[in-house]
Amino acid sequence: MGTDIFIHPAAGFLILALLVPFVPTSLWKNKALRGALAIIPPLVAIYSIFSVEPGLYGNLHYLDQTLTFGRVDKLSIVFGQVFAVISFIGCIYGMHVEDRGHYVCASLYVAGGFGCVFAGDLLAVFLFWELMSIGSTFLIWQARTKESVNAGFRYFLYHTVGGLFLLAGLLLKYKATGGFAFDGVNPAEAHLYDWLILAGFCVNAAVVPLHAWLPDAYPRASVAGAVYMCAFTTKTAVYVLCRGFAGWEVLAIAGTVMAIYGVLFACIENNARRILSYHIVSQVGYMVAGIGIGTAMTLNGAVAHAYAHILYKGLLFMGTGAILYSVGTAKLDELGGLATKLPWVMVWYMVAALSISGMPLFNGFISKTMTIAGAAEHHRTFLALGMEIAAVGTFISVGIKLPYFAFWGRKKEFTGEVKPLPVNMYVGMAICGLLCIAQGVYPDMLYRYLPMEVEHAFVPWTMDKVINSGLLLGFSGLAFYLTRYIITPHKALNLDFDWFYRLIGKVTMKVFCWPSAKVDDIWTEVYRTVGLRALIGMGDGTSWFDKKGIDTVVDGSAYTVRNLGRLGAKVQTANLQDYLALAAVLGLGIFALVWYFG
């Protein structure tokens, strides 16, 4: 039953972030109490989103502006639902983590995502956008390795640039319109500020070639932190693109390029979490393409795929994170034979792998096919074909290659040390896996919340779609068998566009460092030839003054006092007659002086 009271889902996470540093250590080390405290905000968010009625909530009037923090409609509700669900699952999965920083950073990050989804204007979006950037950067640093620190700085640099594009667009929009309205933009009537805002959103959506931060940073995040990161940044970008830029042709093309580009690099990767990171680029490509095509079906397909993707991608990162936690590496060339050591990890990973591959009975099948079918119905044949090709690469890399080399890999059994997994990690994976299956079997669990009204309901369970999916997966299996020796994991790190960005960074550093170094060299030489001699001369002068001036005065005073002391000592004879005689002499002397000068 709906309610007119809206408890903003971000509020609980912000409160948690403020409370965590002040919880006494003795209480914080209690896993049950720590978990109970951390799980309250996701539960409150789930209740709030599933019970609230559509409307506008939380208006704040400040400096002649009205900021709306609670725009609740079908689009924000469906994204808010899946954000609340994955935050609940991520909380359970990471319940064993004792580091307070993890809870603070994750809470701020999740709060930023919720804030963007329910923001009613672009200024509110920008505030939570930056909060999300800060929280995710610190979440990367929570891995506390040299690689994560460097990746975090690069990540923050990318998102700072994206934020500056967004800010520039907001300021120009305000100058032109006098407000920060966040509504759909007709591409035929777009202005410069609209393109700048779009560029800022595209950075977070990891649109090629602005994507290099994602495969660089996500694999280096902490095991529990990566579950949050794969869900919020890119999907928040999908939400704002869907809200403001539906029907932009540039997004339709860019999304299809993303879908193909991501799987190509995933197929040649060695690190399991980098494979999944490239597949975020690919899968978000389906969503961006659906938004760009702009029909009701493709928009629903983009939203449905975002929902499904958050669940199965979260489960994929949970599975590979469990491997990393247990054996200490996620590199496929160092794995193999884990099927007998981590059987339940293998089971839940395969649920997610079949989901992302679009296998019938799993949620990827009911979402991905909607976008592709919508593109075909809109006569965008090349876009639909590109997404089908990407689906082949998805099953090859995530559905076959990764599990084969991780859990089997021509080894009967993994010979290294296998660390036991906490029970809460298995519980988190099980909840996420069961949801992936439930949505695949009962599509209406997801379809009932889709925001766009369509002329005819999309039905995934038809003979042609099932056969098409089976043929596609079968062809993918055959392609893997034929190329199994070509795509064998190797140790090299593939930088793709990141190579150019790092080159730009190095060149920039040299451009600034070379003149600075030359100025420093000149100054060093001047100091050596002029400054050092001047200092030596000043030292000689102060030394002479010390000897001739200060020492003469101080030492002369000391000698005088010493002589007076010796004279005084001689005068002290302890004889009364001597003292009387001395007093008489002094008295006569004083009398003589007074008489003479008087």
Give me the half-sphere count of Cα atoms (radius 13 Å) on the Cβ side of residue 240.
33
- Signed CA dihedral, 376, 379, 381, 383: sign only: negative
Q: Report residue 67 as tokens.
A: 């900021």
Closest residue by Cα to residue 50 from 399, 554, 448, 476: 448
Residue 177 C-alpha from the chain's centroid: 33
Q: Report residue 318 as tokens.
A: 């949970």
Sole residue written with tokens 């896996």? 433
> Which pLDDT tens digit goes with each residue over 452-502?
887 778 888 888 778 877 877 787 778 777 776 766 767 766 677 666 666
CA-based radius of gyration for the chain: 36
Q: What is the pLDDT along the chain (598 residues), one digit of tens a residue?
A: 456 688 899 999 999 999 999 999 888 888 888 889 999 999 999 999 998 889 888 888 877 778 888 899 999 999 999 999 999 999 999 999 888 999 999 999 999 999 999 998 999 999 999 999 999 999 999 888 888 898 888 899 889 999 999 999 999 999 999 888 888 889 988 899 999 999 999 999 989 888 888 988 989 999 999 999 988 999 999 999 999 899 899 999 999 999 999 988 888 888 889 999 999 999 999 999 999 998 999 999 999 999 999 999 999 999 999 999 999 888 888 888 888 889 999 999 999 999 998 888 899 889 888 889 889 888 888 998 898 888 888 888 888 888 888 888 767 777 778 889 999 999 999 999 999 999 999 999 999 999 988 777 888 888 877 887 787 778 777 877 777 676 676 776 667 766 666 677 677 777 777 677 677 677 676 666 766 667 676 766 676 666 666 656 555 665 665 665 666 656 555 565 566 666 666 677 776 676 666 5
Residue 113 C-alpha from the chain's centroid: 11
CB 322 within 8 A of CB 420: no
Q: Model-level pTM greater than 0.85?
A: no
Does 209 sit behind a cis peptide bond, omega within 30 degrees of 0 on the bond before it? yes
How long, in residues, is the chain?
Answer: 598
Distance CA 139, CA 137 (A): 5
Question: Count of H helices and E strands in the chain?
Answer: 24, 2
CB 261 within 8 A of CB 208: yes
Distance CA 312, CA 309 (A): 5
> Which pLDDT tens digit goes with each residue over 289-303?
999 998 999 999 999
Closest residue by Cα to residue 84 from 51, 60, 56: 51
CB 340 within 8 A of CB 406: no
Distance CA 216, CA 500 (A): 13
CB 152 within 8 A of CB 47: no
Sole residue written with tokens 């070639």? 209
